[in-house]
Structure 1
Amino acid sequence: NLPWEHHETVNTVDWVPEGYVVVRVDERGVGKTPGMFEQFSLQEAKDFYDSIEWAAKQEWCNSNVGTWGISYWAMTQYNMAQLQPPSLKAMVPVFGSNNSYRGYAFNGGLYNDFNMIVKNSCGEWKGVDWISIASDNPFDDPELFGPTGNLCISSDLSKITAPLWSVMPQVHPGIHVRDSSEGYIHAGSEHKKLTIVGGQQHAWPYSKEATAEFRAFFDYWLKGIDNGAMDGPPVKMMVRTGRGEHFW
């Protein structure tokens, strides 16, 4: 029962009528899924890998799966995509960190007090004792880089091969700005895009303008529609002019 549980996933109203099936996965310990919630763990990444491969085998799927999500649902995409699930054909991480140490805990080298504020407001989070786990492991990914453990501190972006569209915020409360661009720059994907947006950051991804572009991206990679979704410059930035208006 997380505050970001489904808020930052796609709006089914915009996608189902266009021939898409939307799968929202409650990981272990979330919603009615049994188990313990292990945020940003290797087990969590493997579970999302399995979810993608499960979806690809269903009769309502053409074997091509895409992922889309904001913040937490972008961060988990990076962790999952480095495992290279065969059926992952396109991914859109929107405002997502991929290095929990540099982009989340010590953003730009300065301690981020976001978690402290949450705990003071809502109480201690229940679940895995990440402090004790982190103290026994170096700040690199267990199993993915060498040491044993279950904590994903940073994604190995070079292992991401699926076509990627990273959406980066111009301003954000302490997280996601740096890593959204890092995801684009260092991802091993042959085909990738970066869009930099400002203003009402959590509103634009659900706007008619953005939804149409995201759908064209997935139509291209999941349905094989030659619609020119990858034409044009790979990087574009929103320039705000006031009164809620902008140009690219």
Structure 2
Amino acid sequence: MTTRWIRAALAGLAALTLSATGCGGGADDEAPGGTVTVFAAASLTEPFTKLGRDYEAAHPGTRVVFNFAGSSALATQVTQGAPADVFAAASPATMTTVTDAGDAAGTPAVLARNQLVIAVPKGNPDRVAGLADLARPGMKVALCAEQVPCGAAAKAALAAAGVRLTPATLEQDVKGALAKMKLGEVDAALVYRTDVRGAAEALDAVEFPESARAVNDYPIVVLKHAGNPAGARAFVDHVRSDAGLAVLTAAGFQAPPSR
């Protein structure tokens, strides 16, 4: 066996190994497929549901499963080991719970922004013009609890306006506050602009200047222990694409600062 033959054999073996590695690939190089489990803030329900359908149509054989709830509750579930591939929160502070716990695979990116409005019944029968009107005697107001992003934003806006009020109810996510309005159990609610747009047949939105002091950025991240990392990354890319932003802005969200 000559030295030349040995070298040729080794070169061939190396080439075969590289070819096999390239063809087989690791989990990170696989095309997106399977099920992607997404934990997302309740205020993202409508646009993310559409984005999920669009993603499935673009990737036949895939499935997107959502868990919509208050961001703080979802962050707790993630840090306690709940199986999820992607987390989209309604505030950077809530996302920090996940990143500080070491459960994020990389740096979260802001996908959109949202702002509060005062939700009132169609026609605004109580003539609410601003936050001060929510403190009028007899007004029943729904707020989100302070530990969730919509509640933290409401607290900041009310403080900026110098308004103090006792809410009739404190809800664990923005959909809960919106439900109280739809059921007629309160006269007004501090919710996101996007939520009122989605219920325009029953509600009107009253804009107020202090909402600019409480704009919420929505970060999204692939989770470190994702069962489907390739699918998770593909879904995040889809959400952050121009097509994804179009769906979000159509729902009333604002483009992130970098767009």
TM-score (normalised: structure 2)? 0.29
Greater helix fraction, Structure 1 or Structure 2:
2
Structure number with greater Rg is 2
Report which structure shows greater RCO (CA 8 Å, sep ≥6): 2
**What's the TM-score once normalised by structure 1's chain length?**
0.30
